[in-house]
Amino acid sequence: MTSATATPIYYVNARPHLGHAYTTVVADAVCRWHRLLGHETHLLTGTDEHGLKVLRRAEQNGVSPQEWTDRLVESEWKPLLETLDIANDDFIRTSEPRHETGAQAFWQDLHDRGEVYKGEFSGWYSVGSEEFVADDDVLDGEGDDEGFKISALDGSRLEHVTEENYFFPLAKYQQRLLDLYEQNPRFIQPESARNEIVSFVRRGLKDLSISRSTFDWGIKVPWDEQHVMYVWIEALLNYVTAAGYGVDEERFDRLWPANIHLVGKDIARFHAVIWPAMLMAAGQPVPHRVFAHGWLLVGGQKMSKSKANGIRPDELVDVFGSDAYRYYFSRALTFGSDGSISWEDVHARYHAELANGFGNLASRVAAMIGKYFDGALPAPGDLGPAEQAIVDLVREATTTADAAIEAVAPQDAVAAVWTIVEALNGYLTEQAPWAVAKADPHDPRLATILVTAAEGLRALAVLLNPVMPRACAALWDSLGGAAIGELSDQRIADVATWGQIPVGTTITKVPSLFPRIETETPA
């Protein structure tokens, strides 16, 4: 069975900002780790292209919605994946025929099972978040929003809608959903999101309007051409249409149910309430887990396009590089909580942790093997207690990091691996190979120390590869990793096995992995 991971699919009303890239980077790092465990993995991401929000943005720009989404997907959203070195296996656009076919098949199935009915909807709708807002959550706008109704959920402006629509009988799934959360406590995580969802469902659910009939930028309801699917109901289906639902049974069996959906907490309800209810209604298994992460805050506010505080990922990557970007977002924030980010913090961590901590370690070791052994890895002597402590630490840190990845706590995984960086730096300071060489260039300790450091770096190249693939590939090359095999073929289980780099392997000088950067803030 494949371990399938998915990010949300992103609205293409605007360019991506760091908030969007956050989920994708973590999803990619988690998947890359799973690959190193030897698991068959699959990473899905994509774009959510229908609905009023995208339609209106296209209209404002004077182009058809299809032209608009084609342009943005090609110029912004797909290139973002390259910029961030995302190794996704699939990219689904909801305007693709495969999605339309699968979504219509799913709807037809719901209809055939009596899980859809027609009714009249009258209430409030937020185009900003593409959701129906209950009367209790409607507020009178103030300031710029004077004269408008706004949503208590996210402050977006509301529009009143009265339409004949199709409905999904969500209310009747209340108990089955509560049973799901009870029987599978990991279904929705972290605990804060789980508590929020459980109490939301306990308060009772209302049936959901799932089609719109006043515009046509969407997928037609298969039995009624006057209606398009409500964009959220259609978007959630991407997870199964990309897996081949209704089209490719073999693929669907392999990829569904997904192992995990990673989402922001603002969309946890859609994923942990509506989505499993739809799957239950269609007789399909639900995903194993939904993990809701927190928000990136800038100056204390959620980063978002509408607040114009959205920094673009490529602005950071241009200065710090994609590895540092991936490192920062995996390490500096706690995945399930909100966290503040700033350019200054990226800058500070880049220098302290990457340039001085990791990069410097790698270059020092390669330089010393160059200087004292003409770049050929010497044969080590017996391991003493200091060396054994490094081997033990690598083993423990690997176990801790693996458990952290399983708990979707990338920050803890990286912190665990970083204990190796720190221990190796401390080991070199204590063992002072330069002093050993000065005292007696033939002292066998010199080889033992440098081989221990090189083996430690080998372990780091594997363990950090999911987060910093470029730097780790360069480090692997410098350590003559080809003599061991491809970096991507290494396994987490073997990381702490010492003596993998053959004696005599040429260790080359590492190109500066994290060169110093002078810019303090964006130009």
Closer of 235 and 409 to ligand MSP (Cβ): 235
Please state, in angstroms and rounded to a whole number, the distance separating the CA atoms of residues 239 and 262. Answer: 12
Bridge pairing between strands 224-229 and 220-221: antiparallel
Q: Residue 22 interacts with ligand MSP (CB under 6 A)?
A: yes
Q: 422-460 b/e with 16+ CB inside 10 Å = b? A: ebbbebbeebebeebbeeeeeeebbbbbbbbbbbbbbbb
Q: Residue 302 interacts with ligand MSP (CB under 6 A)?
A: yes
Which of the ranges 283-291, 300-308, 311-319, 502-510 carries the binding residues for ligand MSP, by CB under 6 A?
300-308
Q: Residue 11 interacts with ligand MSP (CB under 6 A)?
A: yes
What stretch of H or E contains 48? strand 41-48
Q: Residue 48 interacts with ligand MSP (CB under 6 A)?
A: yes
Binds ligand MSP (CB under 6 A): choice among 3, 4, 5, 20: 20
Q: Residue 10 interacts with ligand MSP (CB under 6 A)?
A: yes
Q: Cβ contacts of residue 174 below 8 Å, gap of 6+?
A: 201, 204, 205
Q: Residue 236 interacts with ligand MSP (CB under 6 A)?
A: yes
Q: Residue 90 interacts with ligand MSP (CB under 6 A)?
A: no
3-class DSSP assignment, residue 85: coil
Instruction: Number of residues interacting with ligand MSP: please give it, by CB under 6 A.
Output: 21
Bridge pairing between strands 339-340 and 296-298: parallel
Closest CA to 358 of 494, 210, 459: 459
Q: Secondary structure of 149-201 in the HEC alphabet?
A: EEECCCCCEEEEEEEEEEEECHHHHHHHHHHHHHHCCCCEECHHHHHHHHHHH
Binds ligand MSP (CB under 6 A): choice among 2, 5, 8, 313: 8
Q: In which order are the strands placed within the sheet that holds 301-302?
A: 301-302, 296-298, 339-340
Q: Residue 296 interacts with ligand MSP (CB under 6 A)?
A: yes
- Min dist CB 267 to ligand MSP, Å, is 5
Q: Which residue is nearest to ligand MSP (CB)?
A: 264
Q: Residue 151 interacts with ligand MSP (CB under 6 A)?
A: no
Q: Residue 77 interacts with ligand MSP (CB under 6 A)?
A: no
- Min dist CB 266 to ligand MSP, Å, is 5
Which of the ranges 17-25, 143-151, 191-199, 412-420 carries the binding residues for ligand MSP, by CB under 6 A?
17-25
Q: Cβ contacts of residue 143 below 8 Å, gap of 6+?
A: none
Tokens found for residue 500: 């993998």
Binds ligand MSP (CB under 6 A): choice among 2, 4, 19, 321: 19
Q: Residue 303 interacts with ligand MSP (CB under 6 A)?
A: yes
Binding site for ligand MSP (CB under 6 A): 8-11, 19-20, 22-23, 48, 235-236, 238, 263-264, 266-267, 295-296, 302-304
